[in-house]
Amino acid sequence: MSKSELTKTAEYLIYQEWGSKLGTFCCDEVMIGNQLDHHGIVDYLIYDTKGIWRCYEIKVTLADFRSTALKTFVGNYNYYVLPFELYQKVKHEIPNQIGVICFDRIPYVQKRPKKQELAVDKEVMYYSLIKSLARERNKLMKWIYFDLEDSRYKRRD
Protein backbone atom coordinates (compact mmCIF):
# COMPACT_ATOMS: atom_id res chain seq x y z
CA MET A 1 0.00 0.00 0.00
CA SER A 2 1.41 3.40 -0.89
CA LYS A 3 1.80 6.10 1.71
CA SER A 4 -0.48 9.12 1.82
CA GLU A 5 1.00 12.56 1.26
CA LEU A 6 0.27 13.40 4.90
CA THR A 7 2.26 10.34 6.05
CA LYS A 8 5.18 11.31 3.80
CA THR A 9 5.05 14.83 5.21
CA ALA A 10 5.13 13.48 8.77
CA GLU A 11 8.15 11.27 7.96
CA TYR A 12 10.00 14.17 6.39
CA LEU A 13 9.26 16.48 9.31
CA ILE A 14 10.51 13.88 11.83
CA TYR A 15 13.69 13.46 9.81
CA GLN A 16 14.19 17.19 9.40
CA GLU A 17 13.60 18.02 13.08
CA TRP A 18 15.22 15.04 14.87
CA GLY A 19 16.68 12.49 12.43
CA SER A 20 19.11 14.74 10.57
CA LYS A 21 21.10 15.77 13.64
CA LEU A 22 24.74 14.77 14.02
CA GLY A 23 24.98 11.49 15.92
CA THR A 24 21.56 10.16 14.93
CA PHE A 25 20.72 7.26 12.63
CA CYS A 26 17.20 6.91 11.31
CA CYS A 27 15.05 4.95 8.91
CA ASP A 28 11.39 4.51 8.08
CA GLU A 29 9.46 1.23 7.96
CA VAL A 30 11.80 -0.76 10.22
CA MET A 31 10.76 -4.38 10.81
CA ILE A 32 11.82 -5.28 14.34
CA GLY A 33 13.31 -8.76 14.32
CA ASN A 34 13.10 -11.06 11.33
CA GLN A 35 10.46 -13.11 9.52
CA LEU A 36 10.58 -15.85 12.16
CA ASP A 37 10.72 -13.61 15.23
CA HIS A 38 8.71 -10.56 14.17
CA HIS A 39 7.88 -7.81 16.68
CA GLY A 40 6.11 -5.46 14.26
CA ILE A 41 7.11 -2.61 11.99
CA VAL A 42 8.12 0.78 13.40
CA ASP A 43 6.95 3.59 11.11
CA TYR A 44 10.07 5.62 11.91
CA LEU A 45 13.04 4.69 14.11
CA ILE A 46 15.85 6.91 15.40
CA TYR A 47 18.93 5.73 17.29
CA ASP A 48 21.44 8.17 18.75
CA THR A 49 25.03 7.83 19.90
CA LYS A 50 23.90 8.13 23.53
CA GLY A 51 22.26 4.71 23.09
CA ILE A 52 18.66 5.95 22.99
CA TRP A 53 16.08 4.36 20.68
CA ARG A 54 13.00 6.38 19.65
CA CYS A 55 10.05 4.79 17.88
CA TYR A 56 7.42 6.79 16.02
CA GLU A 57 3.97 5.53 15.01
CA ILE A 58 2.50 7.80 12.36
CA LYS A 59 -1.30 7.95 12.31
CA VAL A 60 -3.07 10.43 10.05
CA THR A 61 -6.71 9.28 10.27
CA LEU A 62 -9.00 8.18 13.06
CA ALA A 63 -9.48 4.80 11.35
CA ASP A 64 -5.70 4.34 11.17
CA PHE A 65 -5.30 5.25 14.84
CA ARG A 66 -7.99 2.82 15.93
CA SER A 67 -7.01 -0.01 13.59
CA THR A 68 -6.09 -3.35 15.11
CA ALA A 69 -2.67 -3.24 13.42
CA LEU A 70 0.17 -3.69 15.87
CA LYS A 71 1.58 -0.49 17.35
CA THR A 72 5.29 -1.15 17.64
CA PHE A 73 6.37 0.72 20.75
CA VAL A 74 9.65 -1.05 21.51
CA GLY A 75 12.01 1.91 22.07
CA ASN A 76 13.24 3.82 25.08
CA TYR A 77 10.96 6.68 24.02
CA ASN A 78 7.85 6.03 21.95
CA TYR A 79 5.65 8.54 20.16
CA TYR A 80 2.48 8.87 18.17
CA VAL A 81 2.85 11.36 15.32
CA LEU A 82 -0.54 12.90 14.59
CA PRO A 83 -2.15 15.88 12.93
CA PHE A 84 -3.33 18.19 15.72
CA GLU A 85 -7.01 17.72 14.79
CA LEU A 86 -6.65 13.94 15.22
CA TYR A 87 -4.84 14.41 18.54
CA GLN A 88 -7.84 16.39 19.84
CA LYS A 89 -10.09 13.40 19.07
CA VAL A 90 -7.88 10.67 20.56
CA LYS A 91 -5.84 12.29 23.35
CA HIS A 92 -7.70 10.35 26.07
CA GLU A 93 -6.90 7.03 24.32
CA ILE A 94 -3.12 7.51 24.39
CA PRO A 95 -1.28 5.58 27.12
CA ASN A 96 0.51 7.70 29.71
CA GLN A 97 4.02 6.50 28.75
CA ILE A 98 3.59 7.30 25.03
CA GLY A 99 4.51 10.77 23.77
CA VAL A 100 2.74 12.71 21.05
CA ILE A 101 4.20 14.80 18.26
CA CYS A 102 1.69 16.94 16.39
CA PHE A 103 2.39 18.54 13.07
CA ASP A 104 1.06 21.12 10.71
CA ARG A 105 3.86 22.92 8.89
CA ILE A 106 6.32 22.12 11.68
CA PRO A 107 6.38 19.23 14.16
CA TYR A 108 6.18 19.92 17.88
CA VAL A 109 6.05 17.77 20.99
CA GLN A 110 2.52 17.94 22.36
CA LYS A 111 3.10 15.35 25.10
CA ARG A 112 6.45 14.05 26.35
CA PRO A 113 6.95 10.28 26.61
CA LYS A 114 8.23 8.46 29.66
CA LYS A 115 11.52 6.58 29.32
CA GLN A 116 11.12 2.82 29.14
CA GLU A 117 13.36 -0.20 28.91
CA LEU A 118 13.66 -1.64 25.40
CA ALA A 119 10.90 -4.16 24.72
CA VAL A 120 13.33 -6.30 22.69
CA ASP A 121 17.05 -7.00 22.99
CA LYS A 122 19.26 -4.14 21.77
CA GLU A 123 21.03 -6.50 19.34
CA VAL A 124 17.65 -7.07 17.66
CA MET A 125 17.23 -3.30 17.42
CA TYR A 126 20.70 -2.87 15.86
CA TYR A 127 20.06 -5.71 13.41
CA SER A 128 16.67 -4.27 12.44
CA LEU A 129 18.01 -0.76 11.84
CA ILE A 130 21.03 -1.97 9.84
CA LYS A 131 18.83 -4.24 7.71
CA SER A 132 16.45 -1.36 6.95
CA LEU A 133 19.26 1.08 6.18
CA ALA A 134 20.73 -1.47 3.74
CA ARG A 135 17.31 -1.73 2.05
CA GLU A 136 17.19 2.05 1.66
CA ARG A 137 20.75 2.16 0.30
CA ASN A 138 19.83 -0.45 -2.31
CA LYS A 139 16.86 1.68 -3.38
CA LEU A 140 19.10 4.73 -3.65
CA MET A 141 21.73 2.89 -5.68
CA LYS A 142 19.10 1.70 -8.17
CA TRP A 143 17.82 5.25 -8.42
CA ILE A 144 21.31 6.64 -9.01
CA TYR A 145 22.62 4.02 -11.42
CA PHE A 146 19.54 2.73 -13.18
CA ASP A 147 16.55 4.18 -14.92
CA LEU A 148 13.66 3.44 -12.58
CA GLU A 149 11.17 4.09 -15.37
CA ASP A 150 12.44 0.94 -17.05
CA SER A 151 11.48 -2.09 -14.98
CA ARG A 152 14.41 -4.03 -16.49
CA TYR A 153 16.86 -1.54 -14.90
CA LYS A 154 18.97 -0.84 -17.97
CA ARG A 155 22.13 1.05 -17.22
CA ARG A 156 22.13 4.73 -18.14
CA ASP A 157 24.77 5.90 -20.61
pLDDT digits (tens, 9 = 90+) for 13-69: 999 899 889 999 999 999 998 777 778 999 999 999 999 999 999 999 999 999 988
Which residues, 6 or more positions from 156, have their beta carbon under 8 angstroms from its beta carbon? 145, 146, 147
SS3 label, residue 131:
helix
Q: What is the mean pLDDT of residues 134-157?
A: 69
SS3 label, residue 66:
coil
Integer Cα distance of 58 and 81 in angstroms: 5
Q: What is the pLDDT of residue 48?
A: 96
Identity of the amino acid at 24: T
CB 26 within 8 A of CB 46: yes
Which residues, 6 or more positions from 83, have their beta carbon under 8 angstroms from its beta carbon? 6, 60, 102, 103, 104
Q: What is the pLDDT of residue 143?
A: 77
pLDDT digits (tens, 9 = 90+) for 95-137: 999 999 999 878 899 999 999 999 999 999 999 999 999 999 8
Q: What is the mean pLDDT of residues 75-87?
A: 96
* Per-residue pLDDT band at 1 (split at 50, 70, 90): low
